[in-house]
Copies of this chain bind each other. A is one copy, B any other.
Amino acid sequence: MAISTKPASGFRDFLPTEMRRRKRVFDVIERVYNAFGFERIDTPCVERLDTLLGKYGEEGDQLIFKILQRGDKLERALQGEQVRDIDLADAGLRYDLTVPLARVYAQYRNDLPRYFKRYQIAPVWRADRPQRGRFREFYQCDVDVVGSSSMAVEAEVTAALATILKELGFLDVRIHVNHRRVLQALMQVSQISDAKEADALIAIDKLDKIGRDGVVNELKSRGIADDSVATLMGILDGFVAPGTDGFSNEAVLAHLEGALASSDQGLSAIADLRSLLSFASGGPAASLLCLDPYLARGLSYYTGPIFEVRSDAFPGSLGGGGRYDGLIGMFMKEDVPACGFSLGVERLLVLMEESGMFTDEVSDVDVLVTLWGAETTAASLALAHELRAKGVRVDVYPDHDKYGKQFKYADSRRIPYVVLMGPDEVSAQTVTLKHLGTGQQQSFPRSDAAAAIVAAISKG
């Protein structure tokens, strides 16, 4: 039976064109995070199962790829009376970058700066059923600040995010902002019990998809009392949606202040949002931040502001984040304030590809040095090295084929120029440069050839 040479189901090979695009995006992210004082870390792809299990809910635990025990440990596990999969594995592939951050912070906190501003760009693995656009191995791109409760952190994280989106060419985006305690206060003043809070949040988060009437129906079908639904919708109806006429952050804040006047936690959350908007006012996120009291994001671990990047040009979210003061301390039995953002980098790559945003791609090789024969090869390679020393990216055709075949190879790699050094050139001590697109040729004295070629190709 022939072995399949496709990657395993749910996994991807990245050939050179795709790698260049990924590198371009990762480089922007890296440069911007560095400019904001964030530092990159990396953690192992493999973590102990006791680090991973119990952190992602039952469903998450099921999706962790576990690594089979080996040797004696496996023997013993298989000889047990009842073999459970937990006996067969004690390590697994990382599921996200947040649990590793919490482990790293607990392990090295004494060596880390007072504020740990880290980012990590790395693959994670989830044993999801593969489907279009969903893979079992994909990159996450997380930035987090650990150690401060100041809204200056939220302002900086969203400013970095805004800078990245702009540099990648995502000009028509918004950063939707809400606050976990605004949502809790809304529940409180609508007399929705803690037990029903999650149900209610799921319903209102769907406004985009199912509309106002849909939200009302879903709230009722999830057992929220009619009075509570009426109160809640009465408040929510007062908001203008981000991206529509008449929207202003100040109007949202004013309406919230009225509606939540009786709730201390509501008012403290509004104060946080006012600080965040004020701190961000002179920076790149100022025009992107939109208060959105409907924004809930499913994740129960947020404790403060929450963010989500959206664009009218594309459905869904381009990434999300927020403040989660109870998570980083999971391995230390104490709370450590933290705020971060996870950019949906695989999604961004797909959108950039589909929207033709990788337009200005050029060859990654400037010149192909052709080979004439064995007797001129050393001279051709020497010229290639001279060019590289001047910063030119040079491929060398390795065999002594006819020029036509060599030009075809250059074409297949989209290399714009070829250099010819046949016996005529060698005896005349010249070098010929040919532009494959126009067919135009120029000859230069060998002694001056590298500098002349650099000058010619930089003119285009």
Q: Is A298 part of the binding interface, using a Cβ–Cβ cutoff of 8 Å?
A: no
Contact pick for A364, options B34, B112, B371, CB 8 Å: B34
Q: For residue A104, which residues in chain B have a CB less than 8 angstroms away from its CB?
A: 5, 13, 15
The answer to whether the Cβ of A12 comes within 8 Å of any Cβ in the partner chain is yes
Contacts of A408 in B (CB 8 A): 114
Q: Which of B44, B111, B331 contacts A15 (CB 8 A)?
A: B111
Stretch at the interface among A237-245, A374-382, A435-443: A374-382
CB distance from A121 to the nearest CB of B (A): 11
A283 at the A/B interface (Cβ < 8 Å)? yes
A300 within 8 A of B: no
Interface membership of A39, Cβ < 8 A: yes
Given A5-B103, A396-B152: A46 in contact with B125 (beta carbons within 8 A): yes
CB-based contact B106/A377 at 8 Å: no
Chain A contact residues: helix, strand, loop or mixed: mixed
Known A-B contacts A113-B409, A153-B398; the reply to A68 vs B42 at CB < 8 A is: no
* Bound complex: CA A413 to CA B38 (Å): 11
Cβ contacts A to B, 17 pairs, < 8 Å: A5-B104, A16-B40, A19-B41, A36-B388, A36-B395, A37-B365, A39-B364, A45-B45, A45-B123, A46-B65, A70-B127, A114-B408, A114-B412, A152-B399, A156-B398, A279-B378, A282-B379
Q: Which chain A residues numbered 33 to 63 have a C-beta less than 8 Å away from chain B?
A: 34-37, 39-48, 50-51, 62
Interface residues on A, range: 35 or more
Other contacts beyond A8-B48, A12-B44: 9, CB < 8 A: A4-B50, A15-B104, A34-B393, A35-B388, A37-B396, A46-B65, A46-B137, A67-B93, A280-B381
- With beta carbons under 8 angstroms apart, the residue of B37, B108, B393 that contacts A37 is B393
Per a CB cutoff under 8 Å, which of B145, B281, B283, B377 touches A279?
B377
Copies held by the complex: 2
Given known pairs A104-B13, A127-B70, the reply for A45 and B137 (CB within 8 Å) is yes
A392: which B residues are within 8 A, CB to CB? 35
Query: Does B378 lie within 8 Å of A281, measured CB to CB?
Result: yes
CB distance from A289 to the nearest CB of B (A): 13
A128 to B432: give the CA distance in the assembly, Å: 54
For window 386-434 of A, CB contacts with B under 8 Å fall at 388, 391-400, 408-409, 412-413
A364 vs B392: C-alpha distance when bound (angstroms): 28
Q: Which of A58-108 contact B (CB under 8 A)?
A: 62, 65-68, 70, 74, 78, 83, 85, 88-89, 91, 93, 103-104, 106-108
Complex Cα–Cα for A88 and B74 (A): 11
Instruction: Specify which chain B residues have a CB less than 8 angstroms from the CB of A394 in the assembled complex.
Output: 35-37
Q: Which residues of A contact B (CB under 8 A)?
A: 3-8, 11-16, 19-20, 23, 34-37, 39-48, 50-51, 62, 65-68, 70, 74, 78, 83, 85, 88-89, 91, 93, 103-104, 106-108, 111-115, 117-118, 123, 125, 127, 136-137, 145, 148-150, 152-153, 155-156, 159, 163, 275, 278-284, 331, 364-365, 368, 371, 374, 377-379, 381-382, 384-385, 388, 391-400, 408-409, 412-413
- Determine which residue in A382, A388, A409 has the highest number of CB atoms from chain B within 10 A of its CB, and name it: A388
Please tell me if the beta carbons of B381 and A46 are within 8 angstroms of each other in the complex.
no
Q: How far is the CB of A139 from chain B (nearest CB, A)?
A: 10
What chain B residues lie within 8 Å of A397 (beta carbons)? Answer: 115
A14–B41 Cα distance when bound, in Å, is: 6
Of the residues B62, B114, B381, contact of A159 by C-beta under 8 Å: B381
Q: Are A7 and B43 in touch, CB under 8 angstroms? A: yes
